[in-house]
Structure 1
Amino acid sequence: MGSPSIFAALAFLIVAYTVGSVRIINQGNEGLVERLGRYRGKLKPGLNFIIPMLDAVVLIDSIRERILDVQPQAAITKDNVALQVDAVVYWKILDLERTYYAVEDIEAAIRELVITTVRSEIGKMRLEETFSLREDMNKALLDQLDEATEPWGVKVTRVEVQKIEPPPDVIESMQQQQAAELKRRATVLEAEGEQQADITRAEGTVKSIQMLSDALKERPNSKEILNFLIAQSYVESNQKLSASDNSKVVFMDPKMLTEGLVDLMNSPTQPEAPNDEPPGRRRRHRQDQG
């Protein structure tokens, strides 16, 4: 009767010992084991065995990449502008042993380190530079945080400054400055466009005058043609002036305009033939004919 009971008790102890010594670690995690209070080793993903009553699993943690979102923090720029800065940090554990024994709360330590580093970097930059040099600031933060967390067995893979928010009065001033700059650029572009248009029109006028001059040189009645073009331009200008919406009063001598147009229309199209007779002989010849 005693032997079966002893065997049953031994079997129970063996099963309990076996179950107590088995530790299963999921993929992406690691564990730390202490024996009698002293670090013994790591538990890798899969099936692991420990000695019950002697070994204790003190930590099972993830070694995958994590995200730490740092709440908006106050920072002051180089030109004394107060900002609210929001950052996010991507990090992971490389050496779980060092992380566990080097710092008590790794996330709190990284958060405080990020806040201190962000304030330091913002203090080196002017307000405009915090917006234009965002990538440079992210790189500087990454370099400093990665170097500072290396003794903790932690790797900071990326740092992103999500939002930089100045005070409302500073935002309003920046908007006014931007609007003034856009208006100035538009004015400059408009002036440059008008200048280019004037140059183009002037070049066209010069070219037209040159072409007209070349054409008149080939005609014997060039003077009469030029007078006609001038009179035509004068009449067209007066027509445009009278068609304007604004009231205008133009003082001119109708007789002179009429006589000028009549003389222009009655002017001979061909120049008079030259006469080699002296003026006295031509007068006597007319008197004889009379």
Structure 2
Amino acid sequence: MESFFPFTLILFIVAVILILQSVKIVPQKQAWIVERLGKYHRTLHAGLHLIIPLIDTIRAKVSLKEQVLDIPKQEVITKDNVVVKIDAVCYFTVIKPEDAVYNIENLEYAIIQTIQTNLRDIIGGMELDEILSSREKINAKIKEVLQGAASSWGILINRVEVKEIEPPANIVQAMSMLIEADRKKKAMITEAEGKKRAQVLEAEGYKLAKWQEAEAIERIGQAQAHAINSVKSAVGDGETAGKLILGDSFIKSLEKLSNSPNSKIVLLPPSVESLTEILRKKNES
């Protein structure tokens, strides 16, 4: 009886251990691969699960979250024989955990090698200027090629992004000088266009002023002609009418000149008779 108690205790402890080993709680966004006697049995998703101890074993624990994989920088020769350094980053999600475990030995290493190989192929068929301006095109090509290989690995390639394209130092310096020269050229063109526009506006303003001046002279001439015709109608003689208008203008000018504080000398007609005759005819009219 005394020997039976320790044996029962041992059995109880073993049973508790087996029960604890049979209960598996899988966290959210994880998948556990279960093998039975060395062969794939099933995939456990988030929640509480029971397995058979000593027969069922957990082969791998796979994350179902989106994962970020940094692609190391590598040197690539472009189509125009320029050596550039380029790196990228890949975002992927495991959608079939069993394929990710059994169909590929090292998933991350396989993704890195595939992306680097395709980067060399794509960049090698493009010139430097096209590479620097076509990142979206490069990203799309890499994703398209990689997705074909990744489908058998049980993953989904969400996106691939080229992080940095680093040309040689001499190329960067030449590009900087070219950009600076282009900026100066644009500035000079803008300045020249501004000067041209200012000259055009000035010429248009001068033209408008002369047109207005000519129009004013024409109106004055019309007014004078109208005045001469009116006087001519009154006196009946065109020559006398002209003399009257001329004398009237002369008298008004003398009046302004005599009233000016700076006037020192007042010019009179060649003879007093001429002035008297002008005034007489003006009064008669």
| TM-score under structure 2 length normalisation | 0.73
**Cα distance change on mapping 1:95 and 1:213 into 2, 3 Å:** same
Equivalent-residue separation in structure 2 for 1:71 and 1:5 (angstroms): 61
Distance 1:78 1:271 in 2: 91
Residue 231 of structure 2 is matched in structure 1 by: none
**Which residue of the partner structure matches residue 123 of structure 2?**
122
Residue of structure 1 equivalent to 2:183: 182
Indicate the residue corresponding to 1:113 in structure 2.
Answer: 114
1:104 aligns with 2:105: yes
Cα pair distance change 1:35/1:220, threshold 3 Å: closer
Amino acid at match of 2:91: Y
Distance 2:246 2:167 in 1: 85
Matches within 5 A, 1:1-290: 1=1, 2-220=3-221
What residue is the counterpart of 2:236 in the other structure? none
Q: What is the count of residue pairs matched by the alignment? A: 227
Question: Offset of 1:220 from its aligned partner?
Answer: 4.8
Q: Classify 1:215/1:19 alpha carbon distance in 2 versus 1 (closer, same or farther; 3 Å).
A: same
- CA displacement at 1:154 relative to structure 2: 0.8
Aligned-pair identity in percent equals: 34
Q: Once the two structures are superposed, what CA deviation does each residue of 1:228-287 show, in whole Å capped at 9, x if it has no partner?
A: xxxxxxxxxxxxxxxxxxxxxxxxxxxxxxxxxxxxxxxxxx7689xxxxxxxxxxxxxx
- What letter is aligned with 1:64? K
Shift of 1:23: 2.1
Using the TM superposition, give the Cα deviation of residue 131 of structure 1 relative to its aligned residue in structure 2, in angstroms: 2.2
CA distance in 2, matches of 1:69, 1:133: 21
Partner SS for 1:90: strand
What is the CA–CA distance in structure 1 between the aligned matches of 2:215 and 2:21, rounded to whole Å?
A: 114
Report the AA paired with residue 13 of structure 1.
V
Counterpart residue type for residue 185 of structure 1: K
Paired with 1:92 and 1:108, the residues of 2 have a C-alpha distance of 15
Deviation at 1:125, TM superposition (A): 2.4
Cα distance per residue 1:206-241 (max 9 Å; x no partner) = 1111111111123359xxxxxxxxxxxxxxxxxxxx
Which runs of 5 or more residues in structure 2 are unaligned? 223-244, 249-285
User: Partner of 1:218: helix, strand, or coil?
Assistant: helix
Residues in 2 aligned to 1:116 and 1:272: alpha-carbon distance in whole angstroms:
105
Counterpart code for 2:187: A
Cα distance in structure 2, aligned partners of 1:128 and 1:271? 82
Q: Over aligned residues, Cα RMSD in angstroms?
A: 2.3
Q: State the shift of 1:50 in Å.
A: 1.7
The alpha carbon displacement at 1:24 in A equals: 2.3
How far did 1:16 drift? 2.4
User: For residues 99 and 129 of structure 1, what CA distance do their matches in structure 2 show?
Assistant: 36
Instruction: For 2:198, give the aligned amino acid.
Output: A
Alpha-carbon distance in 2 for matches of 1:105, 1:210: 88
CA offset at residue 67 of structure 1? 0.7
- Higher mean alpha-carbon deviation, 135-144 vs 199-208, is at 135-144
